[in-house]
Chains A and B, each alone.
Chain A
Amino acid sequence: EAGVTQFPSHSVIEKGQTVTLRCDPISGHDNLYWYRRVMGKEIKFLLHFVKESKQDESGMPNNRFLAERTGGTYSTLKVQPAELEDSGVYFCASSQLNNSPLHFGNGTRLTVT
């Protein structure tokens, strides 16, 4: 079974640019989550999809972040325009049920300079 895959693994962009992160969950997992870890802090929840619907987006920092999951398969997280404080590791996770253990992808390490 293929795990959760994320692309790219690393991204270095300049302040003001746009970046789009992609996550492919485990096949058949309706629940997809985005999390972020900034330097020195704990991993924090960003949002949760059930299929193509946003179930909870309470963790999204501001309107520069836009997440989509068209068709209920893969998801994208776009940051536009990027700021220095957006640097960190962005993890995607998926689960079959919303109370099942989460399976994490390898993460995308984003550096904004």
Chain B
Amino acid sequence: RKEVEQDPGPFNVPEGATVAFNCTYSNSASQSFFWYRQDCRKEPKLLMSVYSSGNEDGRFTAQLNRASQYISLLIRDSKLSDSATYLCVVRWSGNTGKLIFGQGTTLQVKP
């Protein structure tokens, strides 16, 4: 079983749609959780951290369910510029800060 699992997609949605990505992680001792965004042939960039209480940043909402070891990202009112690969990333507790990446979910927003 992969340490962080995501549906690779691709998710093809029209502009304005709401889309949700899910992610599960295997290590119950995981400490911190993030969503990164990676554009084609670019480096990963932090989109948002994910907190236990859930958090929102504009059109983006992240949720964490520690009991189910499940993380989600909701994008409302999709824009063409949201097209990218979204990486679910976990940091385990007690380690040196290294991140464990999921394979990524590809989103393509169509006009």
Contacts and interface: CB of A to CB of B under 8 A. Distances in A.
Interface residues on B, range: 20 to 34
B95 interface: yes
A99 B4 contact: no
A27 interface: no
Interface residues of A, number: 27
Interface string B84-104: 000100010001111111111
Given A104-B43, A104-B45, A105-B43, A42 B4 contact: yes
Contact of A91 (B32, B43, B49, B96): B43
A42 B97 contact: no
Contacts of A85: none
Interface string A43-64: 1110010100001100100000
B96 A56 contact: yes
B45 A56 contact: no
